[in-house]
Structure 1
Amino acid sequence: MQKKALPVRIEGPIKVDAQVKAIMVGDNGKSAYEIAVAHGYKGTESEWLESLRGPKGESFKYTDFTEEQLATLKGERGEKGETGERGRKGPQGDNVNLETVAKIKNLLLDNNVFVKSDSLEGILLEFITAQANGLNFVKDDDVYEP
């Protein structure tokens, strides 16, 4: 009887019980530091390691995302929550112009706060909520009008 190999397609996870033993093959090579010394580096290993560290880069900001990256941040819509108690009415505030609203929105975005609204009320709500949740903003004196 002749044995014949047949292709098999398996869907789903496959559990394999096996013990794997790591085997070293060959001698250890030189470390990166040893290679640097061989090429003329004169400092200690600690100094060499420190020399590999570059300057601290700028923090990544929400506004640095591309449209494609932003699209991947959105998850499925959650269930509607319960309506909370109505808050008390606050005092009449000053009128805020569109430029100030845009500055507040950019401040939120620069501090990685996802802003879901373009309205004054929505943006201010995001700002107040972020502050209430303990977010310390990078101060932007341009947001405040004289």
Structure 2
Amino acid sequence: MTDEAYLFLLDDAATALGVSPAAVGELACMDTPAVQAWLAAQGSSASSPLLRLLPPEERGAVPEGAERLPVPLSEEELSRVRRQTAPAAHADVEEELLAYRDCADGRDGLIERALAAGVPPHRVVELAGVDPKTVTAAADR
């Protein structure tokens, strides 16, 4: 789990602050007794247009006097909250970075398997588009 994000209730649904939990997708914390009891105590529900969520680094933006509840999020959930609260230009680039990370994940293992299968190092460099030093390091392992 990460630092705690904050659920809070706005006074006015027209205020553009945070993100609606429903817009982020399924969040494990929303089904916990603590969140359910807090929502009930506020006379609210998970689908309320007044309910918002902010990542930990933005908790200072929660309006003074707003009803709030710290909630734990997994790394993946927090990543979704951050993408939803980021400006559109940031969100687009973050999506590209995530796609790159997913594609690059396991790169070193793939290079090692290629070398073990007999693919020449210069060909691995060509095909993978990696620095020759990366291939040399993989060959030395």
| Alignment TM-score, normalising by the size of structure 2 | 0.21
| Structure with greater helix percent | 2
After TM superposition, the score normalised by the length of structure 1 is: 0.21
Higher relative contact order (Cα pairs below 8 Å, separated by 6+ residues): 2
Structure number with bigger Rg: 1
